[in-house]
Structure 1
C-alpha cells in the first residue's frame, strides 16, 4: 500500500500542478468575463443587456462538459487548431464567467442607488463612479459567493480530463488503469483537491466573520 502511494505521488503532484495553473488562469478569465457581463447587464445599453443575458442564461443552463467539448472539437470542425490547455482555460472561463456574472450583478445592484447620485453631484462621471465608488463596495459584498464559485471552478477542472488533459483527475485515472486500486488512488486525488479547496473555504469564512464583527 505504501509503495503504491509513494510511486503514485509524483504523477499526481504533476497533475496537481497543472490543475493549479489551469485553475488560476480560468479564475482570472472567468472573473474578467463575469465582471464585463455584469456591467453590461446593469448598464443602460439595451443591446449590451440582451447579449449579457443570453450569455449568462445559455451557459448556466448547459453542462460544463458540453462547453468544453464544443470549444475543443468545434474549433477543429471549423478548420482551426486549439491545444488542450487553451481549450480548458477558455471553456472553464466562459462557463464559470456566466455564474460569476450573476454574483457581480447582485453585488452591483446591492449598492444603494444613492451612491451613484451623490457621486454625480460631486462631479464624478459614470466611469469614475463605478470604479471608485461602486466597485470597491461590490467587491466586499460578493467576496464570499465569489470564492465559493472559485472553489466550484477548481473542482470543475476534473472534467477537463474528458478531453484528454493530464490534470490531477486524468493522472489518477491513468494510474488506476495501470495498477488498479481505485479506492486508494481516487482517495489520494480527493485529498489533493481538499488540500487546495479547504484553505480557501476557511479563509472566506474567516473573512466573512471578521466583516460581520466589524459591521
Structure 2
C-alpha cells in the first residue's frame, strides 16, 4: 500500500497528466487528419475513377499491410534524410494520419457500398447530379452505418499512440515508464493508472459516438 501512496504523489500524477495531454492532442490531431484524408480516399475508391481509383487502392493496400511501428520509424528517422526533420510529436501525428487514413478509407468505402443502390438510382431519377446524390443522399446514410467502425478505429488509434514511446514521444506511456524507471516498486501502480487513464479517454469517445448515433438515428 505504501508503494501505491508514494507512486501516486502529486509530482508523479502531474507528470502523468502532462503525458496524457500529449496523448490526447496527438490523438485528436491524428483523428481529424485521418478522417478527412481517409474519407476522400474512400470516396475516390468508391466512384471508381479510371487509373486514379486503382492507384489509390494499391497505395491503401500497401500501407494497410505495413506495421504501424515501421511507419513511425520512417517518419522520425527516414524523413530527415529527405530534408524534413519533424519533432517526435509531428512524426507521430504524420505516421498515424498516413496509416489510419487507409483504414478509414476502407470503412468509408464499405459504408457507402452498404447503402441500397436504389437510393442512388432514385436520387438521379429525381434530377440530382451524381455528386449531389452522393453528398445529400448516400453519404448521410452511409455515415450512420460507419459510426461504430469509425469509433472502434479511433479507439485503436488512441491506444496505438503508445507505440511512439520508441521515438521518445512524451506521451502517457513514456512518462509512466520514466516514473517506474526511477523506482521499480512503482511498476504495478503505474500500470494501474495507465489502464484507468486510457479507459477514461477511450470510454469518453465511445459515449460521444453513442450520442451521435442517437442523434443521427
**How high is the TM-score relative to the length of structure 2?**
0.90
C-alpha distance in 1 between matches for 2:58 and 2:37 = 14
Offset at residue 40 of structure 1 (A): 1.3
The residue aligned with 1:57 is 61
C-alpha distance in 1 between matches for 2:79 and 2:42 = 27
- Are 2:16 and 1:12 equivalent residues in the alignment? yes
Post-superposition Cα deviations, 1:13-36, rounded to whole Å, max 9, x if no partner, equal: 000011111111000111112111
**Cα RMSD, aligned residues only:** 1.8
Contact in 1 for aligned 2:151/2:205 (Cα 8 Å)? yes
C-alpha distance in 1 between matches for 2:112 and 2:105 = 10
- Are 2:206 and 1:201 equivalent residues in the alignment? yes
C-alpha distance in 1 between matches for 2:67 and 2:180 = 26
- Are 2:90 and 1:104 equivalent residues in the alignment? no
Post-superposition Cα deviations, 1:109-137, rounded to whole Å, max 9, x if no partner, equal: 01111211222222211221111111111
**How high is the TM-score relative to the length of structure 1?**
0.91
C-alpha distance in 2 between matches for 1:9 and 1:176 = 12
| Structure 1: stretches of 5+ with no match in the other structure | none
Contact in 1 for aligned 2:104/2:150 (Cα 8 Å)? yes
Secondary structure of the 1:46 match is coil
- Are 2:10 and 1:2 equivalent residues in the alignment? no
The residue aligned with 1:137 is 141
Contact in 2 for aligned 1:38/1:52 (Cα 8 Å)? no
- Spell out the pairing of 1:1-215 with structure 2 (5 A cutoff): 1-6=4-9, 7-180=11-184, 181-202=186-207, 204=209
C-alpha distance in 2 between matches for 1:105 and 1:197 = 25
C-alpha distance in 1 between matches for 2:41 and 2:208 = 27
| Structure 2: stretches of 5+ with no match in the other structure | none
Contact in 1 for aligned 2:89/2:169 (Cα 8 Å)? yes
C-alpha distance in 1 between matches for 2:40 and 2:141 = 17
Count of residue pairs brought into register by the alignment:
211
